[in-house]
Amino acid sequence: MQRRHFLRASTATIALPFLESAGFRRFVSAAPVATPPKRMMFLGIGFGVTQETWFPDIADTGPGYQMTEGLQPLERHRERFSIVQNASHKASASPHAGSTFWLTGADRFGSPGSSFHNTISVDQVAAAEMGRETRFSSLQLNGSDKHLASANGGHGQGLSLAWDANGKPVAGTDDPVAVFHRLFSPDTMPLEKRKAMLAREHSVLDAILSDANSLQKRLTQTDVDKLDEYFTGIRDIEVRLGKEESWLERPKPQAPIAEPQNRPEGIDEIRLMYDLMIAALQTDSTRICTYRQPIASLLSSIGETILPHDMSHYAPGPRMAASQHRDRVQSQLLGELFDKMLATKEADGSSLFDHTSLVFGSNLRSIHYLNNCTTLLAGGGAGVKLGEHIALPEDTALCDVWLTLLHGVGVKAERHGDSTGVLKQIQA
Amino acid sequence: MNLPSLRRGSLQLTDFPLPTFRLSLPVSYKQTLHSAILAITLVPLAAAPKATLPEQHLDFLDAHCLDCHDSATKEGSVDLETLSFSISDIRSAELWQEVLNVVNSGEMPPEKKPRPGDEEKTEFLADLSATLVTAREILSDTGGVTTMRRLNHREYRHTIRDLLGVSIKAESLPADEREGGFDTSGSSLYMSADQIAEYRKQGADALQLAFDLSRTSLEMRKIRLDQEGSFNTRQTYEVQQQVDIQTRFQRWKRQIDLIAAQPRNHKAVAEIRKTIKRPEKFYVHWQKIQGAPAPTEFGFTDGDDAIYYDSQWKWLLPRILEYQSLPQTKTGVYVSASGHATQQVIFGLPGNWPTGDYTMRIHAGVPEERKLKPSRDHLKSYTVPAASHDRRFLDIDSRTGNYHISTHHVRGTTSATVPIEATVSIRGDEQLHLYHLKERGGLEGRSERIHNESTRLKGSRLQPAIWIDYVEFEGPLLDDHTRGQLAIVKGWLDRLDAQGDEAVRSIIREFCDIALRGQPVDPEFLTKLHLIYRDYLSDDHTPHQALRETLAIVLASPRFLYLSETGQVDQTKPLSPIELANRLSYFLWSAPPDSELLQLARSGELAKPEILQQQTTRLLASPRSRTFITAFLGQWLHLDRLDFFQFDPKKHPDFTYGMKKAARREIYETFAYWMNHEQDGSLTQLLQSDTVVIDALLANLYGIANVAGDEFRPVKLPADSPRGGLLGMAAVAAMGSNGDHTSPVERGVWVMKKLMNDPPPPAPPNVPQLSRLADEPLTTREQIAMHQEQPQCAQCHRRIDPIGFGLENFDASGKWRTHDDRHGVPRDRTLIDPSGQIHGGPAFSDFYQLRSHLATLYPDAFATGFAEHLAEYALGRPIGFTDDDLIAAIIAETKAGGYQIKDFIHAVVMSETFRTKR
C-alpha cells in the first residue's frame, strides 16, 4: 500500500484497521508471559574513554585478561561483561558525534545533495518487535546537559540515542520525574475523557492532513518527496495513538521505586536514571531502554572543572587525569547498575541481569578516533560471551555486533546498517 | 599547481579528453584498461564535468596495486583493473575512497611488496583526494533543484516573533544540521512525528505567552536602584563579626599562653615548636598542652578554624576599613577585582515585571586618583593613581542564569558619570532577575594580575576600578510592530470574550491569513479547526484555552512550517510574487515579508526588476537584516569554532567571555560597515584594509589608543598595523587555537577554505594527535614539522602548514607576539619564524607579506567563494557545477564595481535562479 495514498484517504477512524494489519491484534489479547522476556539496554557516553588506561592490552585476550585502571571498579563483576575491540562503522566521518550513528551505522552523506542522512538505530529495530507487548515500545533517556552550549558532550546530532525507521531522531527526555509519572502514575482522568481526548487527537491529525493534501497538489516531485516526511510523521502519530487506545483500560503497574523528588545532576542523575530503567524493565513497561549519558554535569559533579570537549583532547597532564577520573566513575556506576540488576529477581528466581543485553560505549574510541569503538557488552539477554576480552579482526563492522545482539534476543533481522553477518566470536 | 585557481579544487576538470596511456604498460593491461575506461567514459557524452584522476597515476596503480587487485586475481574481491579513472557514480567513488584510505594508512601496499617512493605516493594521494572532493561535489549536484524547506530553528523563532510579538527559545526542537552546509538547505531540514508534536506544543506555549502579554499593561516602567545602603550595612556587620572573632581568638590564645608557660608543659611546647613551620600554627596543637582550653569553648570548630579566622582578620579587616575610608561610599559602591569585599555587586530587576527586553542603565565612573595621608604602613603621603585603561571595563553577568551578558567600557569618572546601557531579557517564569556587576574578568583569570597591579601601590590595599552610583531598569522595549501584533492578539481575545463562538471562525481565518504568509486559506481547514475548537470547549477548556490549542494546530501545519513554492515537473517556473516576497525576506531577514513587501507582491509590482531592487535595498537597510549577517557569516566562516574550546584564563586572561563576544561581533560589524558603505564597500576589505571596526574593548586588546565606548566604529590604522582584514581579527586567530596554544593547521585550512577558495580534502579519520609529542620541549612549528615525515601527511600539509606558520605572530587569543614558548618549558622565549611559501606560489618572510600576497593574488578566488556561499545560503541548496553560469554571472556583475558587497546581494536576488523555482 502506498503511504501517500493511504494517507490521502485517511480519516479519523482509519488508523485502527491499519494497526491490526501490522500485528496489533496479538498484543491486545496477550496472555501473561511465562518465561521472563528479553530486554535491551544501551548506554551511550559521547566522547570515548581514555584509550591508554581503559582498554585491555590488545594481545591479552580471553578470560584471564589483566583488568585495566579504567575498568578496575568493575573487577568484582569480571565474569559478567566482555570488552570487545576493533569494531567500528565503516562510514564514520563525524569525530564529534559519538552517538548520532553509534546504533545506526549510517553514512551521513548517504543521500546525495543532503548534508545529513541517518538510518534506523538497533534499539528501534528491536523495539519494533519486542515493544509490541509492552505499554511503551521503548524508553529514551537523555543526560541533562544538552542545553549548555559549551557542554558539547560528544554525542552529536539527535534527540536521543534512538533513530526511527526513516532515520529521523526519536525524542528522549531528560526529566526523571516526568519519566516516573509516565511509567507509574495512575491516570486520574476518567476513562471517558481520555477516550474523548484521543478521538480529538485524531481530528487534529485529520485537519492537518487536509491542509497537507491541499498543499501537496501544487508541488514539484522533489518537494512532494520532502513533504512525505511530514506525512510519515503524521502516520507515526496515528500508530502511537492506536497503541495508547489499546492500553487505555489497563492500569499502570505499581512503582517499585519511590517517586524522584528532584532532578539531580551528574553522578546522581546517572544513578537515578539507571534506577528508572531497572524499574521500567522490571515492571515490563518496556523492554528497550537507551540512555544518552551526561558528560559535562558528570564532570562537574565529580569535581572536575574541565568541559567535555577540552577533556576529550587530552594529553598527559590535567586533561588526561580528568578523563581517567571520569572513566573510573563511569565504571563504578556501571558496577552499581549490575549489582541492582542482579538483585532484581524475576518470577522464576533468575535475575533481571540474566535477561538483559546491556551495551555501554560510543562511536568514538578516545579523543576523536572513530575506529575500534568503545564497546562493553554485559548481561545474559543476548547470549554473548561474558568475562572475556575479545579482539575481533581489525575494522570489523560494529553493526555485526548489533546484528549478533539482535539475533541473541530473538529478533531475526537479516542485516543492520553495514553489517556483514553474525559474529560467532562473541557468541557464548 | 596553478595559482591562483578560481574554481574550488585544484585539479583540472576535463570535459572528456580520452586518456592517452604511456606505453610502459604490458600489452594485456593496456588493452583491458583501455577498453574498460572507454566503456564507462563514453556513455555520458554531454559536456558534464568529471572528476578524473590524472592518467599518469596508472603507473602507480600498475606498479603497486594490480599485482593482486587485477581482474584475474581480485585479491580480497577488490578489482582495480576495471575501475574507471573517471568517478561517475557512488560505487566507484566508494571504492576509490577505500583505495585512498588504505594507502593513507600505510596498510597498502602490504609490507612484503615493493613500496612506492615518498614523492610518488604524495602526488598520487594529493591527486586522488582532490579528485574525490570533486566527485562528491558532482555526485551531490542537485541540477539546480531547490528542495522545499522547513523553517529552520532561526527562521521559526523569527516567524513566531513576527506573528505573535513574543520570543521563544524553542530548545526542545532539534538543532539544524549544518556541518558542511547552511541551515537553509531544504534537503537537510527534516521532519518527524516527534517534531510535529513539539511544534504544536511550542506553538501553544508561544500563544499562551502572547495571550498573557497582550492583556498585561505594557506601559514603560522604570526603577532606580541604589546598592550602597545594603552594601554598607553588610560591611559594617562584617566588621562587627571580625571584631568579635578576633576578641574570642585573643582570649583563647591568652589562656593557652598562660597554661603553656607552666613548667609541666615546657617539654610539650618545645616539641610543638620543633614541628611547626609558622609560629601561628602553634595553637593548632593545643591538645598537646595539658589543661589548654578547647577552641570550641570560644566558638571555633577546631584549632585550624580559629587560625583561619585570625588570618582573615589580618587580611580582610584592613581592606574593609580602607573601603570605608574611600570617598563617595555613602552615595555609591565600588567594584574591584582586587578587593575581596568589593568583587561584585548585585542588582535585581523586580520579579513581577512582564516578559521582555529591558534597558539596564548603569551610572558609573572611574575613581580619580586619591592622596593617602601618612599612616603606620606608609610614612609619607602617597598618591593612588586612577585604575589603568585596561581595568576600565565592567562585566554584567546573569546570576539567575549563571552566564555572561555583556562587557562595557566605563567612560565617566566618579565626579562625572557617563551612563552605560545594556539590554537584558527576562522570561516571566523566572522568579527574580539578578545581575552581577564586576570588574571585567574579575572572577576569571585576570584577578591575579589586577591584584598585583593593585598591591604594587604601597600603602593602599585596594585600588577600586569602577564606582557605581546607581542602576536603572527601564522597559519593556517593544517596537511598533510587536506592540501592533500584541494589540491584534488582544483584539481576538476581546472579541472572543464578547461574542463567543460567533467570533471563532473569523479569528481563525485572520490568524491563518497572517501565519500562512499570504498563501490562500482553505475553507475546509477552517471548518475543521472550528469544530476542534468546540470539541476542546466541550471538554472543560476555557474559550482562551480552546483557542490556544486550535491555533497551535495551524502552527504545526505544513503550510506554516514549510516555505513551499508551486512548481512544475521538469520545468523552471517563475516564482509568484508572493513566493518571491517570501524568498527575499527569508533570505535577508529570516522572517516573513512585512506588509509593504506583501502589498507589492499582491499588486504584482514586485515582479518589476526596479521594484525588486528597491525592496532589496530597503530590507538590507533595515536593522532586521542583522540576522542575515550573523547567520550567513557565522556559518560561512565557521564561527561556531569559537565555542569549541574554553580559553585557559591563566594563559589568556584578556580573552574573557566579553572579549570573545566582542571578537565575534567585530566580524559582523566589519561586514555590515562595508556592506553599507557608499563607495569603498569592497569585499576585498576583508582581505586587507586600513580600517578596523571595533569598540573600546577590542581597541584595548589590539593596543589601539583613543577608542572610547561600546559602539563599534571605523578606526583608521597606522601603516604598520597587522590588523585590518579578517586575518588580523582576534576571532579568526582564536578559532585557530585550542584555547591554550595556536593551531597553525586549523588556521592554514581556514585560510585555504575561506580566503583562497581552495579547500584541502577533509582530514582522513583516525589520524593520531600530535600529543604523542606533548611532553617534548618543542615549539608548535617544530611539532608540526612532523607532518612532513610521512608522505600521506605531507601531501596536504605542505600546502596547509606554511600559511599557518605565517600567522604564528597571533597568539591563541589574537594578541600580537614575537616569541612563543616551547611546550612544557615555562617562560621559554623562542623567536617566532613566520616565513614560508604559498605552495606553488610566492614566498613570504613575515605575516605582512603573506597578507599582501593573499590580497593581491586571491581577490577573484575569494569573491568566487563568497558568491558560491552566498548563493547557497540564499537558494537553500548546495551550489554545484550546474551553477557555474550563475556564479560566473555574479562575478562578472560585481567585478566591474570592485566587488562591492552589496552588489553581490543584488546580483543574487536579480538572478534568474533566485526568481524561479525548479
Average pLDDT, chain B: 86
d(CA B118, CA B803) in angstroms, rounded, equals 23
d(CA B824, CA B826) in angstroms, rounded, equals 6
- B316-329: buried (b, 16+ CB within 10 Å) or exposed (e) per residue? bbebbebbeebeeb
Q: How many CB atoms lie within 10 A of CB A134?
A: 24
pLDDT digits (tens, 9 = 90+) for A31-73: 455 689 999 999 999 999 999 999 999 999 999 999 999 999 9
What type of residue sits at position B288? K
Chain A residues in contact with B564 (beta carbon < 8 A): 215, 218-219, 223
Poorest-pLDDT segment among A85-89, B190-194, B700-704: B190-194
Q: How many CB atoms lie within 10 A of CB B203?
A: 27
Closest approach of chain B CAs to the CA of A31, in angstroms?
A: 31
Would strands B562-563 and B836-837 be described as parallel, antiparallel, or unpaired? unpaired
- Which of B179, B531, B551, B918 to probe the A interface (max A CBs under 10 A)? B179
* Cell numbers found for residue A143: 543526560
Using DSSP's 3-state secondary structure scheme, residue B407 falls into strand
Chain B residues in contact with A150 (beta carbon < 8 A): 643, 646
- Tell me, what DSSP letter sits at residue B296? G
* Cell numbers found for residue B246: 578576633
- Among A92, A197, A222, select the one facing B145 at the smallest CB separation: A222
Task: Supply the pTM of this predicted model.
Answer: 0.84
Poorest-pLDDT segment among A338-352, B456-470, B487-501, B882-896: B456-470
Contact B643 A222 (CB under 8 A): no
Chain B residues in contact with A207 (beta carbon < 8 A): 525, 528-529, 532, 553, 557
Give residue B18's pLDDT band: very low, low, confident or very high (50, 70, 90). Answer: very low
d(CA B435, CA B413) in angstroms, rounded, equals 22
Would strands A139-142 and A81-88 be described as parallel, antiparallel, or unpaired? unpaired
Chain B residues in contact with A200 (beta carbon < 8 A): 532, 535-536, 539
Q: Are B844 and B809 in contact (CB under 8 A)?
A: no
Closest approach of chain B CAs to the CA of A354, in angstroms?
A: 33
- The predicted pLDDT at position A18 comes to 31
- The predicted pLDDT at position B457 comes to 62
- Among B147, B192, B536, select the one facing A223 at the smallest CB separation: B147
d(CA A347, CA A373) in angstroms, rounded, equals 36
How many contiguous H segments (helices) and E segments (strands) does chain A have? 13, 7
DSSP string, A82-127: EEEEEEE-TT---TT-SSTTTTT---TT-STT-S------HHHHHH
Give residue A145's pLDDT band: very low, low, confident or very high (50, 70, 90). Answer: confident
Give residue A10's pLDDT band: very low, low, confident or very high (50, 70, 90). Answer: very low
Contact A220 B646 (CB under 8 A): no
Poorest-pLDDT segment among B137-151, B443-457, B516-530, B595-609: B443-457
What type of residue sits at position A280? A
* Cell numbers found for residue A228: 512525505
d(CA A296, CA A293) in angstroms, rounded, equals 10
Closest approach of chain A CAs to the CA of B643, in angstroms?
A: 6
Contact B142 A234 (CB under 8 A): no
Q: Are A111 and A95 in contact (CB under 8 A)?
A: no
* Cell numbers found for residue A361: 560505549
CA distances (Å), origin B654, targets A299, A372, B265, B267, B651? 26, 40, 55, 55, 9
Helix (H) or strand (E) holding B714: strand B713-716
Give residue B106's pLDDT band: very low, low, confident or very high (50, 70, 90). Answer: confident
pLDDT digits (tens, 9 = 90+) for B373-397: 777 666 777 777 888 888 999 999 9
Q: Are A38 and A410 in contact (CB under 8 A)?
A: yes
* Cell numbers found for residue B22: 604511456
Contact A159 B174 (CB under 8 A): yes
Q: Are A406 and A383 in contact (CB under 8 A)?
A: no
B812 closest CA partner among B655, B586, B625, B603? B655
The residues, any chain, with a CB within 8 Å of residue B44's CB and separated by 6 or more, are B88
CA closest to A208 among chain B residues: B557
Chain A residues in contact with B179 (beta carbon < 8 A): 94, 115-116
Q: Are A126 and A424 in contact (CB under 8 A)?
A: no
Is the pLDDT score of B615 beyond 60? yes
- The predicted pLDDT at position A68 comes to 97
Q: Are B667 and B633 in contact (CB under 8 A)?
A: yes
- Among A168, A214, A371, select the one facing B190 at the smallest CB separation: A168
d(CA B113, CA B126) in angstroms, rounded, equals 22
- B483-522: buried (b, 16+ CB within 10 Å) or exposed (e) per residue? eebbebbbebbebbeeeeeebbeebbeebbebbbbbbebb
A81 closest CA partner among A342, A348, A409? A342
**What is the signed CA dihedral for B108, B114, B120, B126, rounded to 10 degrees?**
0
DSSP string, A377-404: EESSTT-B--S-EEEEEEEEEHHHHHHH
Mean pLDDT of B145-171: 91
CA distances (Å), origin B880, targets B246, B482, B886? 77, 40, 10
- The predicted pLDDT at position B646 comes to 81
Q: Are A371 and A361 in contact (CB under 8 A)?
A: no
Handedness of CA A128, A130, A135, A138 (dihedral sign): negative
d(CA B444, CA B659) in angstroms, rounded, equals 12
Biggest distance spanned by C-alpha atoms of chain A: 67
Contact B562 A93 (CB under 8 A): no
DSSP string, A227-283: HHHHHHHHHHHHHHHHHHHHHTTSPPPPPSSPPP-S---THHHHHHHHHHHHHHHHT
- Among A92, A211, A234, select the one facing B525 at the smallest CB separation: A211
CA distances (Å), origin B475, targets B167, B169, B448, B624? 16, 21, 38, 20
d(CA A353, CA A370) in angstroms, rounded, equals 30
Q: Are B519 and B584 in contact (CB under 8 A)?
A: no
- Which of A152, A194, A213, A226 to probe the B interface (max B CBs under 10 A)? A226
| Highest averaged pLDDT of the listed ranges B325-334, B431-440, B505-514 | B505-514
Q: Are B378 and B358 in contact (CB under 8 A)?
A: no
Contact A310 B140 (CB under 8 A): no
DSSP E strand boundaries for B142-208 = 149-150
- The predicted pLDDT at position B2 comes to 38
- Among A109, A164, A223, select the one facing B148 at the smallest CB separation: A223
Burial of B815 (0-12, 13-18, 19+ CB in 10 A): middle
Residue B759, preceding peptide bond in cis (omega within 30° of 0): no
Give residue B47's pLDDT band: very low, low, confident or very high (50, 70, 90). Answer: low
pLDDT > 90 fraction of chain B, expressed in percent and rounded: 49
d(CA A327, CA A321) in angstroms, rounded, equals 10
Is the pLDDT score of B769 beyond 70? no
Q: How far is CA A375 from the centre of its chain?
A: 14
- Among A111, A218, A237, select the one facing B197 at the smallest CB separation: A237
Helix axes B153-164, B626-636, angle to 10 degrees: 170
What type of residue sits at position B602? R
Closest approach of chain A CAs to the CA of B280, in angstroms?
A: 31
CA closest to B91 among chain A residues: A110
Is the pLDDT score of B14 beyond 50? no
Mean pLDDT of B598-607: 95
pLDDT digits (tens, 9 = 90+) for B279-294: 878 888 988 998 899 9
Contact B532 A200 (CB under 8 A): yes
- Among A92, A204, A369, select the one facing B532 at the smallest CB separation: A204
Burial of B442 (0-12, 13-18, 19+ CB in 10 A): buried
d(CA B900, CA B887) in angstroms, rounded, equals 15
d(CA A327, CA B518) in angstroms, rounded, equals 56
CA closest to B185 among chain A residues: A114
CA distances (Å), origin A8, targets A206, A220, B194, B540, B544? 10, 17, 21, 32, 32
Closest approach of chain A CAs to the CA of B428, in angstroms?
A: 19
Closest approach of chain B CAs to the CA of A312, in angstroms?
A: 11
- Among B90, B567, B765, select the one facing A220 at the smallest CB separation: B567
B361 closest CA partner among B437, B438, B474, B227? B474
ipTM exceeding cut-off 0.95 for this assembly: no
Q: Which domains does chain B have, with CATH numbers?
A: 27-139 (no CATH), 150-218+479-564 (no CATH), 229-318 (no CATH), 332-477 (2.60.120), 740-857 (no CATH)
With vertex at residue B315, the alpha carbon angle to CA B310 and CA B316, rounded to the nearest 5 degrees, is 95
- The predicted pLDDT at position B468 comes to 94
